């Protein structure tokens, strides 16, 4: 059974960089069958996709966040990471990592439990 | 960009069969996935590729997709099915996914 677990600071100051890691257990992150995504959800609101990474290192990002987002993968540690720069209060949300299966029409079949990140001074 | 439209809420009594719609331009030509999210929990995939169920998801959950509307149906709804439900597709070209705004299902 694949499990994903987000980790990182729960509080980030405005204008600083949000950094999160998603650790994958129960399966190899290196499998070419899957790719890996970050998704966030502000309190009381819907789901917003942030971006994805293939184990090759190839990435795609949300057009609205592209200028501030970097997603990377470390296959030796079986984890992938998110960096979001120049954060504001609007970036306060629960951040989820998820596994994607199914190529260009993929579903998110496994999710982490989510981690709340608050942007505040 | 592609837009998915869901009703904000649906209220039903236990044992009824609610349908949750997801509207989009020619959505029938896309693959639709559905997620259930209970309060304080991560989303769970309940239907993928329009109508397939992951292992462990009850047969009461079913999906269909045609024309401009995809539908999630919950047969004989239970109190435990109370949750937010989101539909999801990929933009043409598969560069990024789109989520519907979510439908809150309340079981009275």
Model confidence over B36-85: pLDDT tens digits?
Answer: 999 999 999 999 999 999 999 999 999 999 999 999 999 999 999 999 99
pLDDT > 70 in chain B, percent: 100
Q: Distance between CA atoms of A35 and A40, rounded to whole angstroms?
A: 17
pLDDT higher than 90, residue B15: yes
pLDDT given for residue B1 in this prediction: 86
In chain A, what residues touch B43 (CB-CB under 8 Å)? Answer: 47, 96, 108, 111
- A-B interface: how many C-beta pairs under 8 angstroms? 59
In chain A, what residues touch B97 (CB-CB under 8 Å)? Answer: 49, 106
Which residues are CB-neighbours of A67 under 8 A, at least 6 positions away? none
pLDDT given for residue A13 in this prediction: 98
Count Cβ neighbours within 10 Å for each residue of A65-75 and write b for 16 or more, e otherwise.
beebbebebee
φ/ψ of residue B24, rounded to 5: -165, 155
Number of helices and strands in chain B (H, E): 0, 9
* Strands B103-107 and B9-12, sheet pairing: parallel
What are the beta bridge partners of residue B22? B70
pLDDT given for residue A87 in this prediction: 98
**Residuewise pLDDT in 10s, chain A (121 residues):** 999 999 999 999 999 999 999 999 999 999 888 999 999 999 999 999 999 999 888 999 999 999 999 999 999 999 999 999 999 999 999 999 999 987 778 899 999 999 999 999 9
Q: Is there a contact between A102 and B99 if contact means CB atoms under 8 Å apart?
A: no
pLDDT given for residue A116 in this prediction: 98
Which residues of B touch chain A, with CB atoms under 8 Å apart? Answer: 1, 30-31, 33, 35, 41-45, 48-49, 54, 86, 88-90, 93-102
Mean pLDDT of B9-25: 97
In chain A, what residues touch B102 (CB-CB under 8 Å)? Answer: 46-47
Q: Which among A96, A102, A106 is the nearest to B42, CB-wise?
A: A96
pLDDT higher than 80, residue B94: no
pLDDT given for residue B95 in this prediction: 83
Q: Is there a contact between B102 and A103 if contact means CB atoms under 8 Å apart?
A: no
User: Which structure tokens are listed for A96?
Assistant: 């989820």
């Amino acid at each position: 059974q694949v499990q994903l677990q987000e980790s990182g600071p729960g509080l980030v100051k405005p204008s600083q960089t949000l950094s999160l890691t998603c650790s994958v257990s129960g399966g190899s992150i290196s499998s070419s069958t899957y790719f890996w995504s970050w998704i966030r959800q502000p309190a009381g609101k819907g789901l917003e996709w942030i971006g994805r990474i293939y184990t090759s290192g190839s990435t795609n990002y949300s057009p609205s966040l592209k200028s501030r987002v970097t997603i990377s993968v470390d296959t030796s540690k079986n984890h992938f990471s998110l960096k979001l720069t120049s954060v504001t209060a609007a970036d306060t949300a629960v951040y989820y990592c998820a596994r994607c299966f199914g190529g260009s029409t993929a579903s998110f079949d496994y999710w982490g439990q989510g981690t709340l990140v608050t942007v505040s001074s | 960009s592609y837009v998915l439209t869901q009703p904000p809420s649906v209220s039903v009594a236990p044992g009824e069969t609610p349908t949750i719609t997801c509207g989009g331009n020619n959505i029938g030509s896309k693959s639709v996935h559905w997620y259930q999210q209970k309060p304080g929990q991560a989303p769970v995939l309940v239907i993928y590729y329009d109508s397939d169920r992951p292992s462990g998801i009850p047969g009461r959950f079913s999906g269909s997709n045609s024309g401009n509307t995809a539908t999630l149906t919950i047969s004989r709804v239970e109190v435990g099915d109370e949750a937010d439900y989101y539909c999801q597709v990929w933009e043409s070209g598969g560069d990024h996914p789109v989520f519907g705004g979510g439908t809150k299902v309340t079981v009275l």
